[in-house]
């Protein structure tokens, strides 16, 4: 049987790391959709079925308030910080403070980031770009993508230039050809708590609880930091 998961892209690597154990315990296969949290919140509220949601804590809390999830069915996985990346082997600009970030962005040939309207990191990074004097509407160097993982893959595929990118660290670590060079510093920093919510309309509550146990419990104690949680 299929277990349907709607998840922010930040949790993709962690879910993948527990997937075989989940299947062994439950006999279920995870059918996961990963990307901008706003997309999956909206899809769920529009009536699409999901047995589990992994979204930002703020969004899960709002779904609890809306009566879609019981408080007892909410569990935090952990915090994820927003980082800066370049292609593997490219020079690494300094990120010591906000001025260094501004200089790094000013000197980049291209800038990759997730959806500035629906993705947590993209919404935040759009504010960073504006604070650094970058015109969000007219700067041809800007390359927004549906989620952080696709933005990283696109940067890795670029030939030439000196691109730079920003998204959550969990969406940088799994992508070949890119490397994180540091977290956004100072007033530009963003740490987002990702949270499990099991909806009232979950079709397999036993499997949902099993997956929640795997993601938040001792089984993933070492897997969570490897995936980028709590760094």
- Do 137 and 197 sit in the same domain of this protein? no
When divided into structural domains, the chain yields a total of 2
- Do 123 and 31 sit in the same domain of this protein? no
- Do 36 and 87 sit in the same domain of this protein? no
Does residue 218 register a pLDDT over 90? yes
Does residue 94 register a pLDDT over 90? yes
**What pLDDT is attached to residue 95?**
96
pLDDT digits (tens, 9 = 90+) for 177-207: 999 999 999 999 999 999 999 999 999 999 9
Helices (H), ranges, the chain: 12-26, 37-45, 57-65, 98-106, 120-131, 148-157, 205-216, 223-227
How far apart CA 69 and CA 48 sit, in angstroms, is 15
CATH of the domain at 12: 3.40.190.10
- Do 153 and 211 sit in the same domain of this protein? no
pLDDT digits (tens, 9 = 90+) for 104-150: 999 999 999 999 999 999 999 999 999 999 999 999 999 999 999 99
- Do 69 and 92 sit in the same domain of this protein? no
How far apart CA 51 and CA 162 sit, in angstroms, is 42
- Do 42 and 98 sit in the same domain of this protein? no
- Do 177 and 94 sit in the same domain of this protein? yes
Strand, coil or helix: 112:
strand
* pTM confidence score: 0.89
The domain of 7 spans 2-79+193-227
- Do 63 and 101 sit in the same domain of this protein? no
- Do 92 and 142 sit in the same domain of this protein? yes
- Do 85 and 162 sit in the same domain of this protein? yes
Q: Find the mean pLDDT for residues 207-217.
A: 98
Percent of the chain predicted with pLDDT > 70:
100
Does residue 231 register a pLDDT over 90? no
Handedness of CA 222, 224, 226, 229 (dihedral sign): negative
């Amino acid at each position: 049987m299929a277990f349907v998961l709607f998840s922010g892209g930040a949790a993709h690597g962690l879910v993948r790391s527990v997937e075989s154990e989940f299947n062994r315990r439950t006999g279920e296969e995870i059918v996961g959709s990963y990307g901008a949290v706003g997309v999956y919140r909206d899809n769920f509220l529009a009536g699409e079925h999901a047995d589990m949601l992994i979204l930002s804590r703020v969004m899960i809390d709002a779904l609890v308030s809306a009566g879609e999830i019981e408080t007892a069915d909410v569990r935090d996985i952990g915090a994820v910080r927003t980082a800066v990346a370049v292609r593997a082997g490219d020079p690494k600009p300094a990120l010591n403070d906000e001025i260094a970030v501004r200089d790094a962005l000013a000197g980049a040939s291209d800038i990759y980031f997730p959806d500035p309207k629906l993705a947590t990191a993209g919404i935040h990074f759009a504010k960073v770009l504006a604070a650094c004097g970058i015109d969000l509407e007219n700067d041809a160097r800007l390359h927004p993508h549906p989620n952080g993982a696709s933005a990283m893959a696109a940067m890795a595929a670029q030939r030439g230039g000196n691109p730079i990118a920003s998204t959550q660290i969990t969406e940088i670590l799994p992508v070949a050809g890119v490397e994180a060079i540091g977290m956004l510093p100072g007033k530009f920093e963003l740490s987002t708590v990702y949270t499990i919510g099991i909806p009232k309309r979950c079709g397999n509550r036993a499997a949902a609880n099993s997956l929640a146990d795997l993601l938040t419990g001792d089984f993933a104690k070492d897997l969570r930091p490897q995936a980028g949680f709590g760094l």
